[in-house]
């Protein structure tokens, strides 16, 4: 494996590169990339390695998203409000914090209309490995402490929202 390292600036200047098509794309385009990549990785490496790799990629994305889009100096309540707004701005999903324990940094959150899975067929298997990592990277970057994120409900398990536990390790 090479020494490839991702940084936010590698996303490029989209306004220059896409003067006619702009910043938006269809969800099918995103999912086409994600689910074909998942299929190839699963064939080559199996389910558990694929889940771990997607989680790691999501975590890297969450770290960069927090560093470049969010203000990690805000109070917890203001940070969560800003995260809600930015997830909407980027059409990633609609965040709702169901439980917040500021002392222990323990949360339960849902993301509705999730970019990764809303509308998928029911398979009885959670599929938001990337999202778990994404949230983990965001909260670790914000708090400067390690976090564990676990998806406990998913559209693909028959729920109509994704639900995550987010806990400081």
**For residue 26, what pLDDT is reported?**
94
List the beta strands (DSSP E) in the chain.
94-101, 106-112, 147-153, 162-168
* Separation CA 61–CA 144 (nearest Å): 16
Quick check: is 6 in a domain? no
Domain that holds residue 61: 12-168
The CB-side HSE value for 133 (13 A sphere, CA atoms) comes to 18
Domain count, the chain: 1
Indicate whether 2 pLDDT > 70.
Answer: no
**Residue 2 placed within a domain:** no
Confidence of residue 5 (pLDDT cuts 50, 70, 90): confident
The answer as to whether 1 is a domain residue is: no
Taking only the tens place, the pLDDT of each residue in 129-149 is 999 999 999 999 999 999 999
Is residue 96 domain-resident? yes
Percent of the chain with pLDDT strictly greater than 70:
98
Strand-strand pairing, 94-101 and 106-112: antiparallel
Which CATH number goes with the domain that contains 106?
Answer: 3.30.1380.20
Using pLDDT thresholds of 50, 70 and 90, give the confidence band for residue 3: low
What's the rounded mean pLDDT across residues 98-112?
97
Residue 140 domain flag: yes
Q: Is residue 93 part of a domain?
A: yes
Mean pLDDT (the chain) is: 95
- Whether 32 is in a domain gets the answer yes
User: Which pLDDT belongs to residue 1?
Assistant: 47
What are the pLDDT digits (tens) for 14-62?
999 999 999 989 999 999 999 999 999 999 999 999 999 999 999 999 9
| Structural domain contains residue 38 | yes
């Amino acid at each position: 494996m090479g020494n490839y390292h991702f940084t936010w600036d590698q996303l490029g200047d989209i306004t220059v590169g896409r003067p006619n098509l702009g910043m938006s794309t269809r969800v099918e385009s995103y999912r086409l990339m994600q689910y074909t990549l998942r299929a190839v990785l699963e064939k080559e490496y199996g389910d558990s390695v694929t889940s771990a790799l997607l989680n790691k990629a999501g975590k890297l994305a969450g770290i960069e998203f927090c560093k470049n889009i969010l203000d990690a100096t805000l109070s917890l309540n203001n940070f969560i409000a800003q995260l809600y707004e930015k997830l909407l701005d980027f059409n990633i999903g609609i965040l709702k914090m169901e439980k917040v324990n500021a002392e222990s940094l323990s949360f339960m959150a849902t993301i509705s209309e999730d970019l990764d899975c809303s509308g998928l067929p029911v398979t009885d298997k959670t599929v938001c490995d990337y999202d778990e990592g994404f949230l983990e990277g965001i909260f670790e970057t914000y708090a400067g402490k390690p976090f564990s994120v676990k998806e406990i409900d998913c559209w693909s398990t028959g729920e109509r929202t994704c639900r995550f536990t987010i806990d400081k390790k």
